[in-house]
Amino acid sequence: MIEGKEIAPLVSICVPIYNVSTYLNRCLDSILGQTYPNVEYIFVDDCSPDNSISVLKEVLTAFPERANQMKIIRHEQNKGVGAARQTAFEHATGEAIMHADSDDMMPPHAVSALVETMQTGNYDIVTGAYTTYENHSEGAVNLPPNMSRERYVSLLLCQNKVKNNLWARLYRRAFLLEQGIDFKLGINYCEDYTVIARAFFTARFTTTDALVYGYRIDNITSYTHQISRRSLISMVKANAVVIDFYRRNDVEGRYHQALDMGLLNMYRDAMRNGMRANEIATYCPFKPLKRRNRMFLQAMTTWLPLKISDILYRVYRKMWEWC
């Protein structure tokens, strides 16, 4: 996206659809009702078992002016949200892209606000503010973090310190293509972490305090609320993708400690949810880079009781300024 460009650049909004008929109507009204004119909508039906696609087609009739801006792509079998997002990304043609979940909402000005901010400089990613929805009640507005790259990436890698959401952001599509940042096959939980953690390593990014997204937290049937054994395996695989990326690219070792803390956190979460250490290592064969962290992981996975290791992990984590 070029600074000072007068013509409104095309923005692709990518939406995976699976089993969301209860919430889809409101989501569609919000994204199709954007004030920004030059939008490409890409809906991926991930072989949804309910009537989500019927709802989609019905709502589209109320927006005839958007008819030529639509792409509806169907997976003949359910492949998961990561694959659905990748399909949408591959079909996107916009200069910039956004990701939206099909049970969430966007204020009418969302795309305009993000594009306007992106055009103030040569940015690859713009992050806006978001709010949450639960039982028809709107929560407080959450402003995007405004900090240096090193601190933000460190907090991302430490995990659970800053959000790694795909939504509420505008991405320059060429940047993602140039950097080879995509959604990995078989990762359908924590797929957002694999993209955000890799993208922010080199991205030119900025923020806007404009409210651009409403995140629903009460849909227990959504992709992101389904925690299962398959999800745990996906989480471990996602960590492996990020660790491999940083070990190949962080040649200065700037993020080694943060990366180790994230690896320890992943083991902690997976083991608390029933995975054995040897099984985790099958999907994520990496060990911590620093000796002290390797020793801590060894204790966590062999002789320390789970509750004690959890307490010690929290204490250990507080020892590091960025975690």
Query: 41: helix, coil or strand?
Result: strand
| CA end-to-end distance (rounded Å), the chain | 34
Mean pLDDT over residues 248-264, rounded? Answer: 96
The SS3 call for residue 19 is coil
- pLDDT over threshold 80, residue 43: yes
Question: Tens of pLDDT along 271-280?
Answer: 999 999 999 9
Centroid of chain to Cα 42: 17
The arithmetic mean of pLDDT across residues 54-69, rounded, is 93
pTM above 0.95, yes or no: no
pLDDT digits (tens, 9 = 90+) for 270-321: 999 999 999 999 999 999 999 999 999 999 999 999 999 989 998 888 887 6
> What domains are there in the chain, each with its CATH number?
11-225 (3.90.550.10), 229-318 (no CATH)
Closest CA to 167 of 9, 3, 16: 16
The whole-angstrom separation of Cα 85 and Cα 169 is 15
Q: Which two tokens stand for residue 199?
A: 């993208």
